Structure 1
Amino acid sequence: MGFMEIGLLGPLVVTVRGTSVVPSASKPRQLLALLATNPGRELGMVAISDELWEDCPPGGPTAVVQTYVKQLRRNIAAALDPAEGSDAKEILSRGYTGYRLNMPVAGVDAHEFEAVSRQGRQALATGDSVEASRLLSAALSGWRGPAFDDVHTGPALRAEALRLEEVRLAVLEARITADLNLGRHAALVSELTALASLLPLQENLHAQLMLALHRCGRSSHALEVFRRLRGSCVQELGIEPSRRLQELHRSVLACDPVLDSPVPSLAAF
């Protein structure tokens, strides 16, 4: 276990020597989450105030932030070993314009998630679906829930949560592609069915579900997936599914043998 570990992919986790330093109060917790999202980077008072209060800062916001920082430092100091001579003010330091949480990004689960995900996508791009599935599955296993799940979020944290969720979804799609490449379509049907229900306008997941169902000999169900997606697109967005999905639909109708090839060619549709 490292000196400090940060978990953003779910409820906020910040530990020092294995002891949690996350406060129970909402605003100090939000400040800690903001600093933990930017390890080693000084955040100015303007950025901190915008996150904590948006357009309605209190009178004397600097003094209020200083109070929150003192509380965070007390939590950090309580987790430190006095024999090591570490100082909470060195870990959560004051800079010229604001505050900085001094730790390497390697101790942040979101950084690890993205690093392993890049390796997995590279393996997928080079045709190593076994390694891609392993790496992408490992990356996704680090998620414990929605990012900042127990933190009240302002503009900066909301934007980061949305970014991380988009990355997570892309990694999930890549992992499913790797598993389809490996012929695991039968095992994927239940997962993809649930995902398509949760994300009724997400075309890539519906395309993957259509392919998995077709490969399981359930082409009629694959066509029904397209009909539901088309209904959602027309009703919610006023548009038809993309040409790619329409071409996949026609290929299922025609029982195109390319859909049964060992490596699916969804990118061609």
Structure 2
Amino acid sequence: MNIEVLGPLSIEHDGTSLVPTAGKPRQILALLALRAGHAVPVASLIEEVWGEAVPRSAATTLQTYILQLRRRIAAAYDRVDDLPPKEILTTTYGGYRLAVDSDSCDYRTFHDLVQRGSRALEADDALAASAHLGRALKLWRGPVLADVPIGPLLELEAVGMEEARLQALEQRITADLRLRRYGELIAELRVLTSRYPLNENFCAHLMTALYHSGSPWRALDEFRRLRACLHGELGVEPTSRLQRLHQAVLNGAPVPDGREARQLPAA
């Protein structure tokens, strides 16, 4: 079974889609897929589909949705396999489990590649880090579960996965800065600082890229933009890391290529 959640939901076996068209069964399948190999309690599935407005018929309706999913599984598997649908979407004590290997999910592949990239970055192998993290980020085809109705549990999953994507993106940019790919990064970082105007890491990366590209005045403008945003939105100053970077640009001092903030000269 091939499971893709980093974008529109896609779950296939032997070229046949298992994803239903109806919204609520699609929600249930998405939650089971994200937790593939692990039991999902009935209470969790009901909370995901109905939230706090749980009808009296919720348990019975949930059983109907599970039956519909098993029929789709049967249509995909019976052609080439001898596995009953109940052995794929299994009933456990108080819940259900999609009995497939979690390695078949694109998010698991993303997670593994990010770990490799992080280890390479820690070992100061920027080339390998950029390659692993770049491959991980290319797995994303859009927002998580873009075509699935999102309830409270899937929303939490989506928030965590999006945070993991941003961290991987920051690490990949750090690796590219160490490889001195300044000019290649400026346009991308312009978009990111516009989309995430309070993100200090993206601001620091853009300032570094601009400074090393021979545009220190543009780096200073970026600091002023972030400072104005922080004042206007939160009433706070940039962190000491950003202030040290700002001071280094003002003084024309060496600015590290994506290294830790402690390598910046003191303000």
Select 1:243's aligned residue among 240, 243, 246: 240
1:152-201 CA-to-partner distances (Å, cap 9, x unmatched) read: 11111111100011110010000001000001011100000110000000
Deviation of 1:61 after TM superposition, in Å, equals: 1.2
Select 1:222's aligned residue among 214, 219, 225: 219
Deviation of 1:83 after TM superposition, in Å, equals: 5.0
Conserved 8 A contact 1:14-1:21: yes
Q: Distance in 2 between matches of 1:99 and 1:67?
A: 13
Select 1:213's aligned residue among 206, 210, 220: 210
Q: Distance in 2 between matches of 1:256 and 1:149?
A: 45
Q: Distance in 2 between matches of 1:163 and 1:264?
A: 25
1:64-96 CA-to-partner distances (Å, cap 9, x unmatched) read: 001111111111111124452121111111112
2:36 is matched with 39
Structure 1 regions of 5+ residues with no counterpart?
A: none
In the alignment, does 2:59 pair up with 1:59? Answer: no
Q: Distance in 1 between matches of 2:139 and 2:79?
A: 32
In the alignment, does 2:90 pair up with 1:96? Answer: no
Q: Distance in 2 between matches of 1:80 and 1:157?
A: 27
Conserved 8 A contact 2:6-2:141: yes
Conserved 8 A contact 1:213-1:222: yes
Structure 2 CA distance for partners of 1:265 and 1:43, relative to 1, 3 Å: closer
Deviation of 1:264 after TM superposition, in Å, equals: 3.9
The amino acid of 2:48's aligned partner reads E
1:29-66 CA-to-partner distances (Å, cap 9, x unmatched) read: 00000100111111111111111111111112111001
Q: Distance in 1 between matches of 2:212 and 2:203?
A: 14
Conserved 8 A contact 1:207-1:266: no
In the alignment, does 2:24 pair up with 1:30? Answer: no
Partner SS for 2:120: helix
1:230-259 CA-to-partner distances (Å, cap 9, x unmatched) read: 1111101111111111111111111112x1
1:5-28 CA-to-partner distances (Å, cap 9, x unmatched) read: 111111111111221111111100
Aligned residue-pair number? 263
Q: Distance in 1 between matches of 2:241 and 2:35?
A: 39
Q: Distance in 1 between matches of 2:168 and 2:258?
A: 17
TM-score w.r.t. length of structure 1: 0.95
Select 1:121's aligned residue among 118, 122, 133: 118
Q: Distance in 2 between matches of 1:204 and 1:162?
A: 19
CA-atom RMSD in angstroms: 1.1
Partner SS for 2:198: coil
- The 5 Å alignment of 1:135-150 reads 135-150=132-147
1:203 is matched with 200
The amino acid of 2:117's aligned partner reads G
1:107 is matched with 104
Deviation of 1:150 after TM superposition, in Å, equals: 1.0
Q: Distance in 2 between matches of 1:26 and 1:248?
A: 49
The amino acid of 1:157's aligned partner reads L
Conserved 8 A contact 2:31-2:154: yes
Q: Distance in 1 between matches of 2:214 and 2:260?
A: 18
Conserved 8 A contact 2:175-2:258: no
TM-score w.r.t. length of structure 2: 0.96
1:200-244 CA-to-partner distances (Å, cap 9, x unmatched) read: 000000000000000000111101111110111110111111111
Identity %: 45
Structure 2 regions of 5+ residues with no counterpart?
A: none
